[in-house]
Amino acid sequence: MAPRTLFAKVWDAHVVREARGAPALLYVDLHLVHEVTSPQAFEGLRLAGRRLRRPDLTFATVDHNVPTGDRSLPIADPVAARQVEALRANARGYGVELHDLDSLDQGIVHVIGPEQGLTQPGMLIVCGDSHTSTHGAFGALAFGIGTSEVEHVLATQCLVQSRPHTMEVRFHGMPGAGVSAKDLILAVIGRIGTGGAAGHVIEYTGAAIRALSIEGRMTVCNMSIEAGARAGMVAPDETTFAYLRGRPRAPHSAEWDRAVGRWRALASDAGAQYDHVVELDAATVAPQVTWGTNPGMVGEITGRVPDPAVLPQEDRAAATRALQYMGLEPNTPLEGIPMDRVFIGSCTNARLEDLRSAAAVVRGRTVARTVRAMVVPGSQRVRAAAEAEGLDRVFQAAGFEWRNSGCSMCLGMNDDVLGPGERCAATSNRNFEGRQGRGGRTHLMSPAMAAAAAVTGHLVDVRTLGAD
Amino acid sequence: MQPFTVHTGRAVALLRDNVDTDQIIPKQFLKRIERTGFGDFLFHDWRRRPDGSADPDFELNRPGAAGASILLAGANFGCGSSREHAPWALVEFGFRAIIAPSFADIFFANCCQNGLLPVKLRAADVAELARRAEKPAWRLTIDLVTQRVLDRTGFERDFPLDHYRREMLLAGLDEIGVTLQEELRIAAYERRTASLRWGRAG
């Protein structure tokens, strides 16, 4: 057999039916469900009198619209409450396991899947959420789908998909101190653009990826969608197995050994061909920060806001519009731009390591008086683990708010929103206009960089600040 | 799903690249549990000023735009969030087709699921159509049967769409119903892979 990529192996193993010139019917191993993109799918199922084919492969949580404040209070927004209640009713009615607001297992859907060991190498995972690409960090093929497709998976446990192209993003060298997984992926998006990987599944390779923890790999795969990719993947290795071992939903005992044997065989074969290859030198990547209104509008913290007049013709109009929205002048040094808010959270960067890296910068310092800063852990288990090592006290002593888990200000569906003109250093994934609140201005960066912005009150190169 | 065969209508141009689904339907309108009720909020933050009044500068608010059923758009249209609320809002607002140089993958699939035809044409062709659309009496025809975009003054281009999507749209087929006919194959796959499948442990 010809050498195959990781992607091809996972794809081929899930084909229920594939005919030449037609999209494949693929089997879904794990279907994650949340409150915002599922109610219409369950309703469609009900109206057609169809059953949910595999409730045992379907897992639900509430994350997008939920409040991150006091969990003992009812949800104040009646429309949001109705949406959460709809998921509860659907989970009950169809026998789906739901990690509800009062559960220690509640959290952002892309944080709790891995945390519980539901996410495993070689799986095909879908969810009505574009950041499903996160799960590719385990060597799973994981991608976001629309609500009609959610309904299709509920009814059939299958999905009709055209085979995407493949792209290898290969990192040479190792990143320097203060440069994180977030900086690597922002550098990729800056290079290829926000639509640069459309129609492709990316496999990330190279020593810099191998050296990342599973959490770092999740950050990288998470933002594959911001480059337009269908999915992002990293071949599973000892790091992956060590993370999964002993997790509640991971295989155990003899089953574990058999599973690891299969997982080892998933890595791309020597000589496997990708449709495109992009190469980056990790050693030259500096901490990144976005200046515009999509994640491809990004630069090094040591640089300046670009001047649209000197950009390629096709980028000028968008850059001009972005700078107007962002309230920035061309050629302004990025370092020194004052921040009003800091948001440490989201499925991109709200796992334990992210909070540790932010806390290392915050420890012994205080949030600038002009800044309102918050930490929203990615799951209630992340929150508990962070509290067990005292990170909550570090953040709170410095003046951060310490919240319950949810998507929160990444998309501002709950009360956590920016006001018009407010400028925010955010560890999330999208700096689109109005994403965090109408008129809000988002700068994306790593947790350490966001923490540095919180304590100085402005964008700053975390490498010059030092961590304890 | 509403079938799409041939459609003739007015077009409005929104020639910005990388228009994301957060712009098409902002998050504050995603809390509904129905498939309807989104059309009024299409491009909300661009269509309406903070006080709620219409922004006359926005492309869809210009005098010639009323009643348009074809949207001429920029590259990578529909990027970002997977929210199907975006095509729901576009359809409810009155659009039957979008013509753009490229579409984001999830958005493209979501359009096809809702009878909203995504048509890929070269950027220069989209720009040419935008020029022609400035004439109030101009109408554009999109023919999915022949996979052509044409007007009465000589514009004529073929557009690509895979056979499967085309058949689904032409017939307005229920994709779930089609897949359910594969029950034997699905069940056979499940039996074949059962020993590999992680089960609900504990």
Looking up residue B23, the CATH number of its domain turns out to be 3.20.19.10
Q: Is residue B195 in some structural domain?
A: no
Please tell me the distance in Å from B83's CA to the nearest CA on chain A: 6
Please tell me the distance in Å from A411's CA to the nearest CA on chain B: 7
Please tell me the distance in Å from B185's CA to the nearest CA on chain A: 6
CB A166 within 8 A of CB A203: yes
Q: Is residue B13 in some structural domain?
A: yes
- Which pLDDT belongs to residue A20? 85
Query: Percentage of residues in chain B with pLDDT exceeding 70?
Result: 98
Name the domain count of chain B.
Answer: 1
CB A331 within 8 A of CB A305: yes
- Reported as a single tens digit per residue, the pLDDT across B164-186 is 999 999 999 989 999 999 999 99
Q: Is residue B202 in some structural domain?
A: no
- Reported as a single tens digit per residue, the pLDDT across A246-282 is 999 999 999 999 999 999 999 999 999 999 999 999 9
CB A287 within 8 A of CB A449: yes
- What is the chain B residue with the closest CA to A119? B198
Tokens of A24: 């494949």
- What is the chain B residue with the closest CA to A118? B198
Give A294's contacts in chain B (Cβ within 8 Å): 18, 20, 79
Q: Does residue B181 belong to the interface with chain A, where contact is any CB pair within 8 Å?
A: no
Q: How far apart are CA A257 and CA A446, in angstroms?
A: 36
Give B190's contacts in chain A (Cβ within 8 Å): 27, 157
- Reported as a single tens digit per residue, the pLDDT across A117-163 is 999 999 999 999 999 999 999 999 999 999 999 999 999 999 999 99
- Reported as a single tens digit per residue, the pLDDT across A7-64 is 999 999 999 999 888 899 999 999 999 999 999 999 999 999 999 999 999 999 999 9
Q: How far apart are CA A440 and CA A438, in angstroms?
A: 5
CB A16 within 8 A of CB A280: no
- Which pLDDT belongs to residue B197? 74
Give A149's contacts in chain B (Cβ within 8 Å): 109-110, 113
Q: Is residue B56 in some structural domain?
A: yes
**DSSP letter string over B89-107?**
HHHHHT--EEEES-B-HHH
- Interface residue of A42, A50, A194, A320 to substitute, partner B, most B CBs within 10 Å: A194
Show the domain range for B137.
Answer: 6-173
- Interface residue of B83, B102, B107, B167 to substitute, partner A, most A CBs within 10 Å: B83
Tokens of B84: 């199907």
Tell me which residue of A300, A298, A288 sits closest to A326, measured CA to CA.
Answer: A298
Please tell me the distance in Å from A141's CA to the nearest CA on chain B: 15
**DSSP letter string over A188-227?**
HHHHH-TTTTTTEEEEEEEHHHHTS-HHHHHHHHHGGGGG
Q: Do B27 and A411 touch (CB under 8 A)?
A: yes
Q: Is residue B182 in some structural domain?
A: no
- Which pLDDT belongs to residue B198? 59
Helix H or strand E segment including B6 = strand B6-9
Tell me which residue of A293, A5, A11 sits closest to A169, measured CA to CA.
Answer: A5
Buried b / exposed e across A236-251, counting CB within 10 Å, b at 16+? bbebbbebbeebebbb
Please tell me the distance in Å from A311's CA to the nearest CA on chain B: 15
Q: Is residue B186 in some structural domain?
A: no
Residues 109-168 of B with CB under 8 A from A: 109-110, 113-114, 162-164
- Reported as a single tens digit per residue, the pLDDT across A78-93 is 999 999 999 999 999 9
Q: Is residue B74 in some structural domain?
A: yes
- Give the number of other Cβ atoms within 10 Å of residue A177's Cβ: 8
Tokens of A250: 């991971």
Q: Is residue B116 in some structural domain?
A: yes
Q: Do B176 and A50 touch (CB under 8 A)?
A: yes
Q: Do A37 and B84 touch (CB under 8 A)?
A: yes
Question: Residue range A293-319: average pLDDT?
Answer: 96
Task: Please state the three-class secondary structure of chain A as a single string.
Answer: CCCCCHHHHHHHCCEEECCCCCCEEEECCEEEECCCCCHHHHHHHHHCCCCCCCHHHEEEECCCCCCCCCCCCCCCCHHHHHHHHHHHHHHHHHCCEEECCCCCCCECHHHHHHHHCCCCCCCEEEECCHHHHHHHHHCCEEEECCHHHHHHHHHHCEEEECCCEEEEEEEECCCCCCCCHHHHHHHHHHHHCCCCCCCEEEEEEEHHHHCCCHHHHHHHHHHHHHHCCCEEECCCCHHHHHHHCCCCCCCCHHHHHHHHHHHHCCCCCCCCCCCEEEEEEHHHCCCEEECCCCCCCEEECCCECCCHHHCCHHHHHHHHHHHHHHCCCCCCECCCCECCEEEECCCCCCCHHHHHHHHHHHCCCCCCCCCEEEECCCEHHHHHHHHHCCHHHHHHHHCCEECCCCCHHHCCCCCCCCCCCCEEEECCCCCCCCCCCCCCEEEECCHHHHHHHHHHCECCCHHHHCCC
- What is the chain A residue with the closest CA to B113? A148
Of B82, B163, B164, the CB nearest to A129: B82
Please tell me the distance in Å from A441's CA to the nearest CA on chain B: 14
Q: Do B106 and A130 touch (CB under 8 A)?
A: yes
- Which pLDDT belongs to residue A80? 93
- Interface residue of B1, B20, B43, B102 to substitute, partner A, most A CBs within 10 Å: B20
| pLDDT exceeds cutoff 90 at A196 | yes
CB B143 within 8 A of CB B126: no
Please tell me the distance in Å from B51's CA to the nearest CA on chain A: 12
Q: Does residue B69 belong to the interface with chain A, where contact is any CB pair within 8 Å?
A: no
Q: Do A36 and B31 touch (CB under 8 A)?
A: yes
